[in-house]
Amino acid sequence: MTRTTSRGPVFADRREAGRDLAEVLLHRQWSQPLVLGLARGGVPVAAEIAHRLGAALDVVVARKIGAPGRPELGVGAVTADGPATYDDVLLAKLGLTRQQLFDICEREQAEARRRESVYHADRSPEPREERDVILVDDGLATGATATAALRALREQQPATLTLAVPVSSSQAAAAVHDEADEVICLSQPHDFRAVGQWYGDFSQTTDEEVLAALGKTGTR
């Protein structure tokens, strides 16, 4: 299910977005729910949802693979484990091959592994098998990192896999539609340009904030 509105909301911050998402998720039945924040910006959103659902909270890391010389242009994404995912249409438009991106992919996967080790330094990851897993991000611009995360999570055999985001471009929502059992999006604004435009406070989430969120929820 994707709820579409002609005019997107402006969230005060990620925590408010999480509370708004939680109101929708509370109306569903969950079996051993696990809420996973897509690091780093998705974690404050996910923490609010986990609190409202009384669910366990954990974190998953996916890194954007940027085009050579244009790191802001994501042509794919990769998680700490598993293969990278690519936008082959965009690669073709740019005249790039996956092999040309090998070094960038390796570097981003190494960073994903580093962050995973930081976040799980004193705790093992929550098991995902046979649980209702809810992957949360603060918004989708292209859907590349969410796609990589969803595919990696699917390999871990959850009972169900849901993607929940406050806001998304219509293109990104379409791109992730088949990767999850359900996609919950509060708004797909027609004038979407960037995720940050829909937040009053979209300051960068730090590793310290991620660790604080994981500890505060008492998931271990």
pLDDT of residue 123: 82
Domain-by-domain residue ranges, the chain? 14-61+124-216
Tens of pLDDT, residues 50-106? 999 999 999 999 999 999 999 888 899 999 988 899 999 999 999 999 999 999 999
Q: How far apart are CA 154 and CA 163, in angstroms?
A: 12
Which residues, at least 6 apart from 171, have a Cβ–Cβ distance to it below 8 Å? 142, 143
Q: What CATH number does the domain located at 14-61+124-216 have?
A: 3.40.50.2020
Residue 22 predicted with pLDDT over 60: yes
Q: Which two tokens stand for residue 15?
A: 């925590």
**Predicted confidence (pLDDT) per residue in 160-193, tens digit:** 999 999 999 999 999 999 999 999 999 999 889 8
For every residue of 139-206, DSSP letters joined together read -BSS-HHHHHHHHHHHTT--SEEEEEEEEB-HHHHHHHTTTSSEEEEEE--TT---GGGGBS--PPPP
